[in-house]
Amino acid sequence: MSKHSLKTIKIGLVVKKDLKAEEKANELEKWLISKKVEVIRKEYLPPNPMFSDKIKRTAPSGLFCVLVLGGDGTFLTAVRWIGDQSIPVLGIKFGEVGFLAEISEDSLFDAVEAVLENRFSTSPRMRLLVKVFRNNKEIACESVLNDVVINKGTLARLAHIQTYINDHYLTTYRADGLIIATPTGSTAYSLAAGGPVIHPSVPAIIMTPICPFTLTNRPLIIPDTSSIKIKLEKPLSNIMLTFDGQQGMKINRKDTLVIQKGLTPINMITVPGQDYFDVLKTKLRWSGGRV
């Protein structure tokens, strides 16, 4: 370990609820402790379908980094735990290849050794800041790394979603829902709904309607400097707003959503030899090799 670490290093650990991942995390924790590293392990909390400020728990300040053992869902949980802090995060994938995990389980200890020795760089990933206003009062404020989704219930009729960009009326989507995604989130739900793949370094926001009634309503890419305002045109019940698939809340015609680029990105640790396009073509099963 390098000389910079004479004082105790604290590292956060977020682990998927999975026997294999938990066993590896226990092994990693013992190894880190043997190197005089203090480990702060986040307790597992499943995604909560209903939004509540009361259950927000933020990672302690002063963490050197956060290590995530699991898939993309676990990574998003870790990002919410980090909050608006500039703590770098490294994902270690278990099971299927994910877009957010940087390294495989086999490379775990070598990668963490490199991190402890400061042999790594970080890549900033844009987040979206989502605010919900009801009767001109802010009732929710969340940051998302992947996406914010407006979705109707299974039996509900089409949602009518009035959409404005920089206070200029764009259209009213008649659809099952609407996804507002970051470039990082372009390979998640937005992609499944027919949206484009956008490299994480491209300064853009993606708007992807879900099963639009009008077939000419196509995904739209707008500058990341844009402010998006959304209202429901008709008083429908069972319309949900979800943040990164981790938490949700019911919204109604009285609500106004304001979505724009967040002030603080997430700093993802990158290691040599891993290329975004290799992960992309492997996950999407394109020709050209595997990671």
With a CB cutoff of 8 Å and minimum separation 6, the contacts of 10 are: 37, 38, 39, 40, 60, 62, 63, 64
Give the rounded percent of residues in the chain with a pLDDT score beyond 90.
69
**The domain over range 3-125+266-283 is classified in CATH as 3.30.565.10:** no
Residue with tokens 């407006």, as numbered in its chain: 150
Secondary structure letter of residue 48 according to DSSP:
B
| Residue 7 reports pLDDT greater than 80 | no
Strands (E), the chain: 9-15, 37-41, 65-70, 89-93, 103-104, 121-125, 128-134, 137-144, 147-152, 159-165, 168-175, 177-181, 204-210, 220-223, 227-232, 239-243, 247-250, 255-261, 266-270
pLDDT for res 214: 85
pLDDT surpassing 80 at residue 30:
yes
* Residue range 57-74: mean pLDDT, rounded: 92
Residue 64: what pLDDT?
Answer: 96
Choice among 72, 147, 244, 255 that is catalytic: 72
Positive or negative, the Cα torsion across 172, 175, 177, 179?
negative
Secondary structure letter of residue 262 according to DSSP: -
Whether the predicted pLDDT of 237 surpasses 90: no
Rounded mean pLDDT, 275-288: 79
For residue 232, the number of C-alpha atoms closer than 13 Å in the C-beta half-sphere is: 25
Using pLDDT thresholds of 50, 70 and 90, give the confidence band for residue 271: confident
CA-to-CA separations, 171 to 10, 154, 175, 217, in angstroms, rounded: 49, 24, 12, 9
pLDDT confidence band for 3 (50 / 70 / 90): very low
The predicted structure's pLDDT at residue 47? 64
pLDDT confidence band for 219 (50 / 70 / 90): very high
Check whether 49 has a pLDDT greater than 70: no
**Looking at residues 142-165, what average pLDDT do you find?**
90
Residue whose pair of structure tokens reads 């590293």 in the numeric block: 37
Alpha carbons 249 and 258: distance in angstroms, whole number: 15
Helix or strand or coil: residue 241? Answer: strand
Structure token pair of residue 1: 């370990």
Q: What is the pLDDT of residue 182?
A: 98
Check residue 48 and give its pLDDT: 63
User: Domain residues of the chain, as ranges?
Assistant: 3-125+266-283, 128-261
Residues 6+ away with beta carbon under 8 Å from 222: 165, 204, 205, 207, 228
Res 55: pLDDT: 55
Return the C-alpha torsion angle 73, 79, 82, 85, nearest 10: 180
Confidence of residue 236 (pLDDT cuts 50, 70, 90): confident
pLDDT at 53: 56
For the stretch 201-212, pLDDT in tens is 999 999 999 999
Query: What does each C-alpha distance from 167 to 50, 143, 181, 231 come to in angstroms?
Result: 29, 21, 19, 12
pTM above 0.75, yes or no: yes
Handedness of CA 168, 165, 246, 30 (dihedral sign): negative
Q: What integer best gives the mean pLDDT of the chain? A: 89
Instruction: Classify domain 128-261 at the CATH topology level.
Output: Tumour Suppressor Smad4 (2.60.200)
Angle at CA of residue 182, ends 149 and 61, nearest 5°: 95
72 is catalytic: yes
For residue 96, pLDDT over 90 is answered with no
What pLDDT is stored for residue 4 in this prediction?
A: 47
pLDDT of 142? 95
Cβ atoms of 269 and 112 within 8 Å: the answer is no
- Could you give the CA distance from residue 205 to residue 258 in angstroms, rounded to a whole number? 13
Output 50 or 276, whichever has higher pLDDT. Answer: 276
Q: Taking residues 118-138, report their average pLDDT.
A: 95
**pLDDT for position 97:** 60
- Per residue in 32-48, pLDDT (tens digit) is 999 999 999 997 766 66
Q: What is the pLDDT of residue 50?
A: 62
Q: At what angle do helices 19-34 and 108-116 cross, to 10 degrees?
A: 40
